[in-house]
Structure 1
């Protein structure tokens, strides 16, 4: 359907018999017109999806959501957009890293805070775009350095006033869910207040800002102490990829029983173009209790055995984070942007587990043991981006400088008690040790960029980066003194005091061109990196110096306003972390002892993406195809040495042979009217990576096929139906041990119904099913989660909602990890059936518009 606007103007001519006095008044008052203009009425009809430049725009009114839904519920309805169980968003095949509200940040860079808390009925449009970096927007040179972004455009009447919800819900067995969300908009000012608390596994946030910062700086992250990385990896919502590139085929359910409280304030304001402010403070606290059973199968070229473990873990985490961005336009040629951020996190973890290993035929028990771990960790991270931009009078000539100082402080205190028995060796050992440590890491990153317009269609960009990171670390291990029961016997074997200095210097030359429908940026970087580490305590010295050529290319051809082809190639170097280099053993898990490798070299990644995007605005057909290829030279991988008792000594090495490729395609077509649509797609993936076990080199190959379908159907105005389903097939082979090939399926499918009923009732029901095949016997099953809810409007502000979750009481958590040398089937405890009765108060007050809009 084409977009059209009809403007209807009414004119009314007044003709009647007037008195003489009135006629005289009209003759003298010439300013009073005899024609009366009525208010303008605008009638608009918009297609469900349309392209605006590089932006895909969805008309939210075409996608129905249940009463009191949040933005996340709306996103699940949009073709080409997927939201997983933890709130991670994928759009056009790429992970969404930012969610904006009317172009402004909302509580920093955590997309889940906006999507899980803002009401869906305040949304007019959802825009999906590749947002340029500040540097790209300033220079106008498009080099593919973009972030997949969703911009929530609020309704016109939401620009001035306030809106939000206050809710309180209770259920049997002490279940509760309460919250307050108030948003005050006044033109360019936005103020949002948020507080929520529940014990039904709802989370309003995803990964913490600390992990986001560390992940963006590999040198800083890799130089954290091993114990710090281990503890950070246990934080809720955080996933840290290991050096092992094995693809993870899994079907994850929310695990554990969690109690969450979070809240904060967000304030944005634009004082014209001269001054813009973005600021927020966010706090979250959660406690979690998780019980688990893990069944690991080692299928190595020279041996095969099983490893089982089960246990209970308790965790409490408190996190404070604040960030701001002040954008100052000094004059027509100069601007300054200052973006400070601070994050403070404390966590307490207590775990108790038992484990055992036995031969693959279950005939011989190799070892068994038990372990108690307690840890307390505190980390404080502060940083600031200071960006100065100068535009010369000559068009295309610019200069910008970014300076980013940073500081990270970590403190940890841990207790490790373990007892182990090795039946093959006829020996026993035990650990009763306390570790105390702290580290201070200082960073300074500098980036200088100069651009020059060479011709009408060509520009030059010169970049110079210099980054330095300096860290001081202390990790001391104390064994128990059996005489007085105190931990005061220093264990030199697992203690260390060391420091590190990491430098990186990058010079880049790039040429950018724009010719009608075709744009490109072609460049080459020369990187010199250095790493030094030393320990007087352990008397070792580490050093490495690397010179690398890193080409990059970005090109885009636009066939029409609604279709384009994009090519993006990047390469980057990754230094080994100090913990990967230090020749020190980590015995936090007595059966899996890790030790660094001083001979480790840097790795170089090459990534290629070819994407085709089309959106026919007349037929409402959306098509997205992406090819991704990744190759790593000198990849970091683990070398395993396994003894007869089942203990493993693991050390990182460099290896070649890593290749990863995927082809993703999806298409959305309209179905009938009223915004109904059918989206279907599939992904084909192939991964190859090396493995090293007991001096035997292996090549692991894994194929995956993932079809999916999503059908949104609106047969009548008061009824909506969504049918969805996806499947993941994995086929894993070992070149050195062909008898260990594995094939398994994960399936996820469901149906949602929503209806407006008589007497101001709104009903919704849904069933979500999970099926696994090809796993261990106890893990192959089908789980059906049946949820239902009924809402009743009391008045325009108040409504009651009764809901039931997991009516069949079948909820289970199971998944499979496929890693280097083993597969592991996992099962965790989860929240079962519960009921909730909630009172919801809608807050809505907006200034009236001068125009009426009919859609």
Structure 2
């Protein structure tokens, strides 16, 4: 007898029948099969990267990070995303200006707070997108004001519960690093508490609100710590003037010995679609001790000498900021959004330095001096955006009004004591002066926008902006009275009481088209600006009246779902600052005296970006390229004049001939399997700008090439290797002073290893190299920063970590600045070798999920 089993499947339901065959008969077993329902099983298998519309989405589980890593460590692993030494994030070739958590703002608009503090193991997905402005989301008309945004999507099981880390670390010589980060999520409600403190040069500075103060008083820039400058450089629309891309990169590298405490609370809640709240409070305290040695070289056709200075600077900065946004949908046609913000910043700076000037061959001492400079600045800024939006019954017809009142108060007090000796003249001078100042600035900005749908594909947008700003300023300088030792002798040369009024009116007409593959917005603005200032104390009047045509264009063409080409052209007018106009001397540096220019005109900027983006979700190959071009008419630049005593008088002037262009390309691709990826790119940059020294007009041309590579490799499951490197080659030429021509390199490259070991151990090690060539003498160096760490899980909640930084004790800071008529090589003290033993506690508590669901 032979037995046969026949299985018939219908709708995945198997039926088994047993046949028995004998010589004469065939019997079939027709008994009812036993059926049992199984519980649902979900098995997810995702590609590391995929496209969702215009959004690139990374599956975080495919990228390995070290134990207790933060989001920043995860971002460094993602193809097409780069994070530099200062925490600045670049995605698809563009600077990231905003980081969201589950679609909501996290401590305002500062990306670093989220990326440097949120634990990486709570991230399910990372989404990269171009976030539209509030107006574009409301009207549907592309305005080109998109911000490259990263949205951190937390894991599904963290939508109800809390998570975070608490850590405490100590090391020799009083080193410490610790804090807490607790996040609670209950549906649409988010609550985050944050506090961190360290004295190992980790920054928590947030400078998002400082740009408003700097626009009113550019001199505040000089009192900001390097970390604040690095944060400002991240912001969309902020340009920190520098002729050298390597110089910008060096800004973010910490110098000095820094002590930081920062923290705050963030609360978001969407009670319903009609009522949403975003709110946060953040504080930062930053102290720094920095010793410096600067070597400046002037090589001009009629003037050549060397200027050296060294000293020490102490700084304390305290910043408090709070912001909120309440979005209310009144009904289906009307909504109201109110966004108040308050920022208060205080800084105390104390510096003590000596300086001297030599002939070009360093054989003849021309002058020397010493200075003690103390300053205290307090800045308070309060503002609120009030946005009303109305949608008419006709589709595409909308009107919105934004009213923004603002109050800015600046207070400062300084002490300047200096002694100088001029050997070529046989003279001496001295300063012993105290300065006090305060200002109150009130402004009201109004923006009215009307849209009308003209046809299926075409819409009209009309915009009217009216801004008015009024300020009252007092600056008083008192010399010391040698009879009683008090600062009570008013110095009229450096004292002033003045006021200003600035009005701007901008009318814009724009036409927008939206097709299946092609979107565009083209428009023309007419800007009318008036600036008035006066001083009864100094008997001067300042005025300027400007009418300017400002075209703009935004266009996007989609070749396919994964390929697109974007063109963005903008123009804007920049009024000179009041302190650039006032004919008053600033003697805070006795050998470099600044004086305003009442004849300064407004500058007009034109910039264009052409960007190509390709994301192949099937092969995980990403390509992006950007061509950027900008030119400025009546650019603000400094004119230098040296007198017979060796002092420089510096005044701003308008100049034409400024041009800047760059071509950047980048490609990311998988390497083997297991999530390994290779990213390489390069940038070619060209800058041309005018220069004026001792009435000699010059034109500077500078080329720069910056290649870079990032290789994330996972040879086995428990081992991760990251190789990265970038180089910046600079070639600078002067038409009037060929002696200042120069070429030099900045190189930064490194290797990181991470391994999961037996006995619940996790190990990581890395080495970072900085190499400078083409600088002066001892400033050419290679610095190798070796670090490593070993972590062990005590249980599911607690772990211990031992780490060492700069194990070779080689950390040094060398940098080159290239300015009008000179180059300066800088050396600052930096944090050296240190060790840290830390106890980390993971906080994890979530509502139970369906245990049969596999994730």
Coarse TM-score class (shorter-chain normalised): over 0.9
For 1:261-289, what per-residue CA distance to the aligned partner results, in whole angstroms no more than 9, with x for missing partners?
11110000001211000000111112111
Counterpart Cα distance in 1 of 2:676 and 2:213: 42
Equivalenced residue count is 820
Name 2:210's counterpart in structure 1.
Answer: 211
Retained in 1: the 8 A contact 2:63–2:77? yes
- What secondary structure, in the 3-state scheme, does the structure 1 residue paired with 2:112 have? helix
TM-superposed CA distance for 1:246, in Å, is: 2.8
TM-superposed CA distance for 1:644, in Å, is: 3.7
TM-superposed CA distance for 1:319, in Å, is: 1.2
Q: Are positions 1:231 and 2:228 aligned together?
A: no
Name 2:809's counterpart in structure 1.
Answer: 809
Counterpart Cα distance in 2 of 1:836 and 1:325: 40
Name 1:300's counterpart in structure 2.
Answer: 300
- From the superposition, tell whether residues 117 and 746 of structure 1 become closer, same or farther in structure 2 (CA, over 3 Å): same
> What's the TM-score, normalizing by structure 1?
0.94
Name 1:590's counterpart in structure 2.
Answer: 590
Counterpart Cα distance in 1 of 2:521 and 2:785: 49
Aligned-residue CA RMSD in angstroms? 1.8
For 1:671-691, what per-residue CA distance to the aligned partner results, in whole angstroms no more than 9, with x for missing partners?
000110000000000000000
TM-superposed CA distance for 1:370, in Å, is: 0.8
Name 1:31's counterpart in structure 2.
Answer: none
Retained in 1: the 8 A contact 2:213–2:381? no
Retained in 2: the 8 A contact 1:791–1:799? yes
TM-superposed CA distance for 1:313, in Å, is: 0.7
- What secondary structure, in the 3-state scheme, does the structure 1 residue paired with 2:209 have? helix
- What secondary structure, in the 3-state scheme, does the structure 1 residue paired with 2:61 have? helix
Name 1:20's counterpart in structure 2.
Answer: none
Counterpart Cα distance in 2 of 1:787 and 1:430: 48
Q: How does 1:43-58 map to 2 (within 5 A)?
A: 43-58=43-58
- From the superposition, tell whether residues 11 and 499 of structure 1 become closer, same or farther in structure 2 (CA, over 3 Å): farther
For 1:556-581, what per-residue CA distance to the aligned partner results, in whole angstroms no more than 9, with x for missing partners?
00001011000000000000111111
Retained in 1: the 8 A contact 2:562–2:615? yes
TM-superposed CA distance for 1:50, in Å, is: 2.0
Q: Are positions 1:707 and 2:707 aligned together?
A: yes
Further displaced range: 362-371 or 64-73: 362-371
Q: 1:247 aligns with which of 244, 247, 251?
A: 244
- What secondary structure, in the 3-state scheme, does the structure 1 residue paired with 2:580 have? helix
Further displaced range: 722-731 or 376-385: 376-385
Q: How does 1:120-519 map to 2 (within 5 A)?
A: 120-205=120-205, 207-214=206-213, 218=215, 220-222=216-218, 226=219, 228-232=220-224, 236-237=228-229, 246-250=243-247, 252=250, 253-519=253-519
Counterpart Cα distance in 2 of 1:258 and 1:794: 32
Counterpart Cα distance in 2 of 1:301 and 1:512: 54
For 1:506-563, what per-residue CA distance to the aligned partner results, in whole angstroms no more than 9, with x for missing partners?
0000000012100000000000001000000101000000000000000000001011
TM-superposed CA distance for 1:233, in Å, is: 6.5
Retained in 1: the 8 A contact 2:721–2:751? yes
- From the superposition, tell whether residues 542 and 36 of structure 1 become closer, same or farther in structure 2 (CA, over 3 Å): farther
Counterpart Cα distance in 2 of 1:629 and 1:245: 16
Retained in 1: the 8 A contact 2:226–2:254? no
Name 1:761's counterpart in structure 2.
Answer: 761
TM-superposed CA distance for 1:852, in Å, is: 5.1
Counterpart Cα distance in 1 of 2:339 and 2:348: 30
Counterpart Cα distance in 1 of 2:631 and 2:283: 40
Retained in 2: the 8 A contact 1:85–1:254? no
- What secondary structure, in the 3-state scheme, does the structure 2 residue paired with 1:579 have? helix
Q: Are positions 1:99 and 2:96 aligned together?
A: no
TM-superposed CA distance for 1:616, in Å, is: 0.5
- What secondary structure, in the 3-state scheme, does the structure 2 residue paired with 1:209 have? coil
Q: How does 1:506-655 map to 2 (within 5 A)?
A: 506-655=506-655
TM-superposed CA distance for 1:738, in Å, is: 1.9
Q: Are positions 1:71 and 2:63 aligned together?
A: no
Counterpart Cα distance in 2 of 1:707 and 1:628: 17
Counterpart Cα distance in 2 of 1:636 and 1:735: 20
For 1:823-852, what per-residue CA distance to the aligned partner results, in whole angstroms no more than 9, with x for missing partners?
111111111001100000000111122375
Retained in 2: the 8 A contact 1:41–1:851? no
TM-superposed CA distance for 1:235, in Å, is: 7.3
Name 2:657's counterpart in structure 1.
Answer: 657
Counterpart Cα distance in 2 of 1:519 and 1:316: 49
TM-superposed CA distance for 1:236, in Å, is: 4.3
Name 1:30's counterpart in structure 2.
Answer: none
- What secondary structure, in the 3-state scheme, does the structure 1 residue paired with 2:483 have? coil
- From the superposition, tell whether residues 234 and 468 of structure 1 become closer, same or farther in structure 2 (CA, over 3 Å): farther
Retained in 1: the 8 A contact 2:244–2:730? no
Retained in 2: the 8 A contact 1:655–1:690? yes
Counterpart Cα distance in 2 of 1:404 and 1:599: 31
Counterpart Cα distance in 2 of 1:677 and 1:627: 25
Higher RCO structure (Cα 8 Å, ≥6 apart): 1
TM-superposed CA distance for 1:213, in Å, is: 3.1
Name 2:673's counterpart in structure 1.
Answer: 673
Retained in 2: the 8 A contact 1:371–1:418? yes
For 1:791-821, what per-residue CA distance to the aligned partner results, in whole angstroms no more than 9, with x for missing partners?
0000000000000101000001111111222
- From the superposition, tell whether residues 808 and 393 of structure 1 become closer, same or farther in structure 2 (CA, over 3 Å): same
Counterpart Cα distance in 2 of 1:691 and 1:435: 32
- What secondary structure, in the 3-state scheme, does the structure 1 residue paired with 2:79 have? coil
Q: Are positions 1:692 and 2:684 aligned together?
A: no
Name 1:23's counterpart in structure 2.
Answer: none
Q: Are positions 1:743 and 2:774 aligned together?
A: no
Name 1:29's counterpart in structure 2.
Answer: none
- From the superposition, tell whether residues 12 and 420 of structure 1 become closer, same or farther in structure 2 (CA, over 3 Å): farther
Retained in 2: the 8 A contact 1:235–1:317? no
Counterpart Cα distance in 2 of 1:10 and 1:385: 59
Counterpart Cα distance in 1 of 2:225 and 2:143: 33
- What secondary structure, in the 3-state scheme, does the structure 2 residue paired with 1:68 have? coil
Name 1:6's counterpart in structure 2.
Answer: none
For 1:90-123, what per-residue CA distance to the aligned partner results, in whole angstroms no more than 9, with x for missing partners?
2222221111001100011111111111001111
